[in-house]
Structure formats: C-alpha cells, structure tokens
Amino acid sequence: TYVIAEPCVDELDRACVAECPVDCIYEGARTLYIQPDECVDCGACEPVCPVEAIYYEDDLPTALRPYAPDNAAFFTLTLPGREAPLGSPGGAGKLGPVGVDTPLVAGLPPQGG
Ligand code: F3S
Ligand code: F3S
C-alpha cells in the first residue's frame, strides 16, 4: 500500500484525493490517511503531493516508518456516535472529513509555517 506521512499534517493540500481511482484517501482533522485494504497501489497520488508526503510503504524513510501502521490505525478508530470502527468505508467522498486523527498525529505540535 501507499502511505501518507508527516509532511501532510496541517498541510492538507488534497491534490492526491482527485487522483485516486478508488477514492481511498480519507480526511481526518489534521492529515489524510490511505485505507491500506482499499489502495490498489496505482501510485497516481504520489507524484502530485507538493510536500512529498506520500510513499510506497517499503520506501518510507526510517523516521516516517511509523506512518504505515498509523494510516492503518486510523481505520480502527470508532467515531463518536458510531458503534463500529471506520474499517473499510468504500469511498472517502461519501464519508467526508471525519474530524479526528490518530493519537500519533493528534499529539504532534503544529506543523509548517
Ligand atoms: Fe496531504 Fe499531499 Fe495529499 S499534503 S492531502 S498527501 S496532496
Ligand atoms: Fe489511490 Fe494512491 Fe493507492 S492513488 S489507489 S491511494 S496508490
């Protein structure tokens, strides 16, 4: 799978979203996350990110490796008012921004600027 890593945090350019043929790039609060079971590894998202936040999982620099399990962890979150975790929503467009992040991302200090 491909992975969105730390450079996306507080950047949220969203150019990647329009490129994805399976609509598997989901918006949290401060970053976006790729659903690893839905991503078909087409790679179309990777070159369009202006801050180079997207990597094939095996190509993540060492410091960014935690973002592979962290993208997956986003989909284990259970949103307020829901009984089941996000899981495999089957399309980011219909879900919309969910307004929450993983503990790793939520705990980061403000990025960029
Ligand atoms: Fe983030 Fe880059 Fe997409 S900043 S929203 S991964 S285009
Ligand atoms: Fe979509 Fe990027 Fe995967 S365009 S299918 S998230 S490689």
Tokens standing for 42?
A: 């087409």
Check if the beta carbon of residue 3 is closer than 8 Å to that of residue 49. Answer: no
Correct CATH for 2-88 of 3.30.70.20, 2.30.140.10, 3.40.630.40, 3.90.1170.50: 3.30.70.20
- Is 34 touching ligand 2 by the criterion CB < 6 Å? yes
The number of CA neighbours under 13 Å toward the Cβ of 84 is 4
Looking from the CA of residue 54, the nearest atom of ligand 1 is: 6
What pTM value is reported for the model? 0.97
φ, ψ for residue 25 (rounded to 5)? -105, 110
Q: What is the ipTM of this complex?
A: 0.99
Could you report the average pLDDT of every consecutive run of 10 residues in the chain (113 residues)?
A: 98 98 98 98 98 98 98 96 95 97 98 78
- Name residues whose C-beta falls within 8 Å of residue 81's C-beta, 6 or more positions apart in sequence: none
Look at ligand 1, atom 5, and give the residue with the nearest C-alpha: 14
